[in-house]
Chains A and B, each alone.
Chain A
Amino acid sequence: MGELIVKAEKLTKVYKLSAEEIAAVNNVDLEISSGEFVSIMGPSGSGKTTLLDMVGCLDSITSGQLEILGNDVSKMKESRLVNIRRRKIGFIFQDFSLIPSLTALENIQLTLYFAGIQKKPKESIRLLEKVSLAHRVNHLPKQLSGGEKQRVAIARALATEPKFLLADEPTGHLDIENSQEILSIFKQLNEEGLTIIMATHNQKLGLQAKRIIYLVDGRIVENNK
């Protein structure tokens, strides 16, 4: 068993909607170790994204305990959370979220710039080669197909050599062929030792992960290692 990446105890997130309180994530206990490839599955509104946001240090916690790589982030300030995000976590979003004014290469370099990491462009190009996009280095996002955009986003997420990848519905905007291709990249990265946590409601893709966590109404109903 490798290093503990995520350790959650009674993790809860409550949203207040006028008079009503909704627990998007409800008393979740969870441990994810280094080298795992975890699929968080469940229907819409089951709390997948909320759980991922908290694990990604993007959202605050209502109650419970959350440790990321041994750091208690439950009550950590934003100024410290940013250091975890920029150095330890690689994010992949459903809509790719590339910066439209920057080329594929520049999108990768932007991440390095924010992290304060000095790397030669050659190394960023190598990341694009890894996702078979060496020929798209200087293309703007609008000149790329959906699958290509998501592969740039993966290269961007890998730039800072994170401890784990967080992918929120990474194939949500892609066709079957491109979705499978993205999943193949994830599998390959995982085989190289990278921890991957992916939220998806696509059964076919989700079931290809090594471990499935199934959420319903903010609770884990299945945790299949």
Chain B
Amino acid sequence: MNIISIAYKNLKRKKIRSVLTIGGVAIAVAVLVSLMGFDRGYQESLTGNIDKMGYQLLITAKGCPYEAATMMLKGGGGLRYMEKDIYDKIRGDTRIDKVTPQLVSTVYDPDRLDGQGGFVMYMGIIKSYLELKPWVKFKSGQWFTSETAEEVIMGYEAAEVEQRLVGDKIFVPNVNKVLTVIGIFERSGTQDDGIVFLPLKTAQQIFSLPDKLTGVGIKLKNIQEIGSFEEDLYNEPGIQIISMAQVRGTILNLISSAKVMTNSVAVIAIFIAVIGVVNTILMSIFERTREIGVMKAIGASAMDIFRLVWMETILVCSLGGILGSILALSGSGLVEHIIKMVLPYAPSGQLVLIKPGLLFVAFIGAIILGIIAGIYPAWRAASMRPVEAIRTGE
């Protein structure tokens, strides 16, 4: 006989009520775990995405830096173009380790996704693109046969969606062009997976943007020189320089207000759960007033009663914590899907990252919740006078 088994048996007496209260705690814990998992996952995914861009700086046409940031990561609309002269001008800079120009264009394809329609992102690149991204490997096929070849290399997902293999043709609507698939990249876990790549010059020609670029990616030999490098290009007309560190900070700032909102929801959920637990346990001790009196008569001290009621609350919260963690783990896919639909920018990769450490923290948190929520009902039960408790319940 121990206090945990007595408390557990008491909870079993009103099964539906106990299950509902545990469910309330579980939902609160699940919300909290999901949000904390999202916080961690989003930052890690974003950092991973930015690191995998391969460059520390991007030169784009002057415009809204947020737009530029989105464009870099996702290839969003509202693209601005700059002259390719800037690439020719800076490529010889001795501070630069690697540099690559790119021209991005999005084309609406009404036949995409079995007739649902959707945008396809095309990116004109040159071979130095691969130097900046040494992890990019070919799944099949090879690099373009020439700088003006009417060929494409498809990102892994783009090839899957379009169901194309090396040697197949791909039709570009709007410009009415048929290109040949010469290669398919392996999955990289970045936005590159969804892009259709083609030679820069071919892109400039078929999209009627001769000598235009959307961006120039730069990796410096020494990251410390970012400041001086940016300064030198500051007066260059029509362009702006964005560092990836800034982009990361900007995006994290953009979602921080959303995070405040969601965290508030989590706090409210926990608050409601605590009230629910206190209410349930109080109701239960009022119903058991006579029983508590009898326990005192047969030898229970105030502390015995306090510990018993406290243990019931802690059990409810612990079971809620375990159930909530399981809910969060099993529902993380769904949460991720919803977040990706709602967020203005969702990096690729796992957005809701629930690690064992987080589950442990959630479980301990639930126990602490029980310890706090249990104090008042336990005190109420412990301070009942035996004779009054016995006679009240008669």
A-B contact count (CB 8 A): 70
- Whether the Cβ atoms of B13 and A91 lie closer than 8 Å is no
**One of B10, B299, B390 near A85 (C-beta < 8 A):** B299
Q: Does A106 contact B (CB under 8 A)?
A: yes
Q: Contact: B302 with A160, CB < 8 Å?
A: no
Q: How far is the CA of A115 from the CA of B290 in the complex (A)?
A: 20
Q: Report B1-41 residues with CB < 8 Å from chain A CB.
A: 1-2, 6, 9-10, 12-13
A58 pairs with B386, CB closer than 8 A? yes
Interface size on A, residues (CB 8 A): 29
A79 and B1 contact, CB distance less than 8 A: no
| CA distance in complex: A110, B1 (Å) | 7
Question: Is there contact, CB below 8 Å, between B294 and A111?
Answer: no
The reply to whether the CB of A224 lies closer than 8 angstroms to some CB of chain B is no
Whether a CB of chain A sits under 8 angstroms from the CB of B387 is yes
For A58, give its contact among B1, B9, B295, B297 (CB under 8 Å): B297
A58 to B387, CA, bound (A): 5
CA distance A144 to B299 in the complex (A): 24
A82 CA to B2 CA, complexed, in Å: 20
Selected contact of A93 from candidates B1, B294, B386, CB within 8 Å: B294
Which one of A66-74, A94-102, A181-189 contacts B?
Answer: A94-102
Q: Are A114 and B300 in contact (CB under 8 A)?
A: yes
Question: Given the complex, which residues of A lie within 8 Å of B2, measured CB to CB?
Answer: 113
Partner of A114 from the list B9, B299, B387 (CB cut-off 8 Å) is B299
CB distance from A54 to the nearest CB of B (A): 9
Q: Are A78 and B299 in contact (CB under 8 A)?
A: no
Chain A hits for B301, CB < 8 A: 79, 82, 86, 114
Q: Would you call B290 and A97 a contact (CB within 8 A)? A: yes
Q: Assess whether A56 is in contact with B297, with CB atoms less than 8 Å apart.
A: yes
B336 beta carbon closer than 8 Å to chain A: no
How long is the Cα–Cα vector from A49 to B12 in the complex, in angstroms?
33
B186: interface (CB < 8 Å): no
Q: Are A115 and B299 in contact (CB under 8 A)?
A: yes
Q: Which residue of A lies closest to B298 (CB)?
A: A111
A201: Cβ under 8 A from any B Cβ: no
B201 lies within 8 A of chain A by Cβ: no
Determine the distance from Cα of A91 to Cα of B394 in the docked complex, in whole angstroms: 16
Give Cα distance in the complex from A189 to B215, angstroms.
Answer: 99
Chain A residues in 8 Å Cβ range of B9: 101-102
Give every chain A residue within 8 A of B394 (Cβ-Cβ): 95
Give the CA-CA distance A123 to B12 in the complex, in Å: 28
B387 touches A110 (CB 8 A): no
Residues of B within 8 A of A101 (CB): 6, 9-10, 12-13
Give min CB distance, A92 to chain B, whole Å. Answer: 10
Query: Is A109 located at the chain interface by the 8 A CB criterion?
Result: yes
Residues of B bordering A, CB below 8 Å: 1-2, 6, 9-10, 12-13, 290-291, 294-302, 304, 385-387, 390, 394
Which 4 pairs show the lowest CB-CB distances between chains A and B?
A86-B299, A114-B299, A101-B9, A59-B387
Interface set of A (CB-CB < 8 Å, partner B): 53, 56, 58-59, 78-79, 82, 85-87, 91, 93, 95, 97, 99-102, 106, 109-115, 156-157, 160
Query: 14 A-B residue contacts at CB 8 Å?
Result: A58-B390, A59-B386, A78-B302, A82-B299, A85-B299, A93-B297, A97-B291, A97-B294, A101-B12, A102-B6, A110-B295, A113-B1, A114-B301, A156-B298
- Given contacts A82-B302, A111-B298, could you give 8 more A-B pairs where the C-beta distance is less than 8 Å? A58-B387, A78-B385, A85-B298, A110-B6, A111-B299, A114-B298, A114-B299, A160-B299
